[in-house]
Structure 1
Amino acid sequence: MKTFLKIIGIIVLLAIVYALVAVLAFSKEYHYEKSVVIKAPKEKVWQYVGSLKGYNMWDPFSKEIRDISITYSGDGDKVGDSYHWKGDENEGEQTITGIVPNEKMMTNLRFIQPFEGNAKVVFTLTPEGNGTKVTWAIDNELNNMMKIMKPMMNSNMDKMFGQGLEDLKKLSEK
Structure 2
Amino acid sequence: MIVKSLLALVAVLALAVVALLLYASRQSDSFQVRRSLRIQATAERIHPLINDLRRFNIWNPYMKKDPGMTSRYRGPEAGPGAALDFEGNARTVGRGSIAIVESSAPQRVVMTLDMHEPFEAHNRVTFTLVPQGDGLTEVSWAMEGVGPLPLMAKVMHVFIDMDRMVGTDFEAGLSDLKALAESS
Per the normalisation by structure 2, the TM-score is 0.78
Distance 1:114 1:152, change over 3 A: same
CA contact (8 A) 1:76 1:83 kept: no
Q: What letter is aligned with 2:89?
A: D
Q: 2:163 matched to 1:159? A: no
- How far apart are the structure 2 equivalents of 1:87 and 1:22? 28
CA contact (8 A) 2:37 2:174 kept: yes
**Equivalent pairs: percent with the same residue?**
28
Q: 2:117 matched to 1:116? A: no
- How far apart are the structure 2 equivalents of 1:14 and 1:127? 51
**Which one has a bigger Cα radius of gyration?**
2
- How far apart are the structure 1 equivalents of 2:133 and 2:19? 48
The 5 Å alignment of 1:134-153 reads 134-140=139-145, 141=147, 142-150=149-157, 151-153=160-162
- Aligned residue number for residue 98 of structure 2: 94
User: 1:91 deviation in Å?
Assistant: 1.7
CA contact (8 A) 1:22 1:148 kept: yes
Q: What secondary structure does 1:57 align onto? A: helix
Q: What letter is aligned with 2:37?
A: V
Count of equivalent residues: 165
Q: What secondary structure does 2:112 align onto? A: strand
Q: Which consecutive unaligned segments of at least 5 residues does structure 2 have?
A: 1-12
User: 1:17 deviation in Å?
Assistant: 5.7
Larger fraction in strand: 1
- Aligned residue number for residue 49 of structure 1: 50
Per the normalisation by structure 1, the TM-score is 0.82
Q: Which consecutive unaligned segments of at least 5 residues does structure 1 have?
A: 1-11
Distance 1:113 1:144, change over 3 A: closer
Q: What letter is aligned with 2:171?
A: G
- How far apart are the structure 2 equivalents of 1:21 and 1:48? 41
- How far apart are the structure 2 equivalents of 1:53 and 1:66? 15
- How far apart are the structure 2 equivalents of 1:112 and 1:71? 16
The 5 Å alignment of 1:53-132 reads 53-89=54-90, 90-130=94-134, 131-132=136-137
User: 1:48 deviation in Å?
Assistant: 1.0
